[in-house]
Amino acid sequence: MFQKVLVANRGEIAVRIIRSCRELGIETVAVYSTVDEDALHVHLADEAVCVGEAPAKASYLHMENIISAAINTGAEAIHPGFGFLSENAKFAELCESCNIAFIGPSSQVISDMGDKAKAKTLMRSAGVSIVPGSVGEITLEEGLALIKEMGLPVLIKASAGGGGRGMRIVRHESKFKTQYFAAKQEAAAAFSSDGVYLEKLVENPRHIEVQILADKYDTVLHLFERDCSVQRRNQKVIEEAPSNIDVSLRNQMYEAAIKAAKAVKYENAGTVEFIVTDNAFYFIEMNTRIQVEHPVSEMITNIDIIQEQLKIASGMRLLFTQESIKSQGHAIEVRINAENPVKNFMPSPGTVTFLHVPQGPGIRFDSMLYQDYTVSPHYDSMVGKLIVHASDRAHAISKMKSALEELITEGITTNQWFVWMIMNHQAYVEGSVDTSFIVKNIKKLIRYEN
């Protein structure tokens, strides 16, 4: 096992990784930007290195500074968390060339899967069903020809996309050109790469994803699935496990996910994402990193996925068999964001003047918040994840409602009551929501009197 690991991230995920390292007796090095000097991950780590100014490009995305920090502190491995450099093949390659273990798959796999258009082609040849669409990236002319062939509506997607950005729906041929350039522009700004591809728009699907663990010795296991259909602007808001998809379809999805991982000789933790409709599922992408919603899988399987990532990267074998991994009860996670739902979810950073966190059996709060902590406007608005685990879904929902009622984060505005409204919505309670749920019900969900 490693003796010292550098965590190349911030916020709740950096805190989460540092805690897992400590439990395994691994020393930790935090990196931080000048505005994060007082962040929880900096206080919790054994050592901390300032890697630059507040803008992510100058610090958390600054590869050379982060690699130097690892070399100077003698860290043998880097955990990239999610976002930032986690899916950057160049960074993984840089780690490899400096003899630092990158906690994730090889740079080759990251680059194969990171190009979402290329990944689909790879998956199709591996026999995994994919959403119909273009083979690889398209030019405007190719796109126009293709929509005549495959029909409308379609979705234009960024090859380098992530976080729900760089996607445009086209329902009328006359709008294709404008949307094509809009998608390209957004992709260039968000991902410094403007390649786009085309996919058939699947109306009102559910988002179901399979968690994978793979070691260096060709063992690939799944930790069941998560339903992440409650989304806003293609970004997940609530995730849960298990899903209520038909058991035989679920088994087919596990098999497809394992096949996908084996096809690229995948190593470490990963997620294979599908959209599901009318008893069919289609691969959309593979995320080659730890996922925001990994805690719900941890709760139902009782496996610490971050610890498994560390063990795998250090060369240890997975000690489970597929049969030994059991799913128990039901887990739900809500993302707590510093944002104001009634002001179109505008980010609302500020100082937490009072914090009270709910406690009790089956309640977990993964967060970087503490009293007097100032949430910075420079980064993602997610300030925590509230996760509950109970014997069944109905109990998990009532536990979540009760926990949300108890959570107090005075000083910042959050979406806490908004997710509480979802927990109380009949369609959610019935377990029948698809990805259009929030947009269709926004008026009702936002009607809240304090």
User: What does the binding site for Mg ion look like in residue numbers (CB under 5 A)?
Assistant: 273
Nearer to ligand ADP, 26 or 79 (CB): 79
Q: How far apart, in whole angstroms, are the C-alpha atoms of residue 161 and residue 167? A: 8
**Least distance from C-beta 202 to ligand ADP, angstroms?**
4
Q: How far apart, in whole angstroms, are the C-alpha atoms of residue 350 and residue 363? A: 26
Within 8 A by CB and 6+ apart from 409, the residues are 336, 352, 354, 355, 369, 383, 416
The site partner of 163 among Mg ion, ligand ADP, none (C-beta below 5 to 8 Å per kind) is ligand ADP
Nearer to ligand ADP, 413 or 435 (CB): 435
Residue 211 binds ligand ADP, judged by CB under 6 A:
no
Site string for ligand ADP, 271-310 (x = CB under 6 A): --x-x--------xx-x---xxx-----------------
Instruction: Render the burial of 295-333: b for 16+ CB within 10 Å, e for the rest.
Output: bbbbbbbebbbbbbbbbbbbeeebeeeeeebebebbbbb
* Residue of 17, 22, 89 whose CA lies nearest to 368: 17
The site partner of 291 among ligand ADP, Mg ion, none (C-beta below 5 to 8 Å per kind) is ligand ADP
One of 74, 127, 164, 315 touching ligand ADP (CB under 6 A) = 164
What angle in degrees, to the nearest 10, is found between the helix axes of 437-446 and 416-423? 110
Q: Are 366 and 16 in contact (CB under 8 A)?
A: yes
Nearer to ligand ADP, 41 or 358 (CB): 41
Nearer to Mg ion, 234 or 348 (CB): 234
Q: How far apart, in whole angstroms, are the C-alpha atoms of residue 332 and residue 242? A: 9
Nearer to Mg ion, 267 or 273 (CB): 273
**Alpha helices (H) in 34-84, listed in sequence order:** 40-44, 63-73
CA-based angle 235:239:245, to the nearest 5?
110
Tokens of 275: 């959209």
The site partner of 83 among ligand ADP, Mg ion, none (C-beta below 5 to 8 Å per kind) is ligand ADP
One of 73, 193, 219, 234 touching ligand ADP (CB under 6 A) = 234
Which of 165, 289, 335, 364 is the catalytic position?
A: 289
Tally DSSP H helices, then E strands, for the chain.
Answer: 15, 20
- 4-7 and 77-79: which strand pairing? parallel
Instruction: Render the burial of 377-397: b for 16+ CB within 10 Å, e for the rest.
Output: ebbbbbbbbbbbbbeebeebb
Within 8 A by CB and 6+ apart from 72, the residues are 49
Q: Is 289 a catalytic residue?
A: yes
Residues numbered 21-80 forming contacts with ligand ADP, rule: CB under 6 A:
none
CB-nearest residue to Mg ion: 273
Nearer to ligand ADP, 26 or 296 (CB): 296
The site partner of 205 among ligand ADP, Mg ion, none (C-beta below 5 to 8 Å per kind) is ligand ADP
Interface size with ligand ADP, residues (CB under 6 A):
30
Nearer to ligand ADP, 12 or 358 (CB): 12
Residues numbered 118-137 forming contacts with ligand ADP, rule: CB under 6 A:
131
The site partner of 28 among Mg ion, ligand ADP, none (C-beta below 5 to 8 Å per kind) is none
**Which residue is it, tokens 């009532």?**
398
Specify the stretch interacting with ligand ADP by CB under 6 A; choose among 178-186, 201-209, 338-346, 367-375: 201-209
Residue 235 binds ligand ADP, judged by CB under 6 A:
yes
How much is the CA Rg of the chain, to the nearest whole Å?
Answer: 21
Binding site for ligand ADP (CB under 6 A): 82-83, 87, 131, 155, 161-164, 191, 199-202, 205, 207, 231, 234-236, 273, 275, 284-285, 287, 291-293, 380, 435
Active site residues: 289
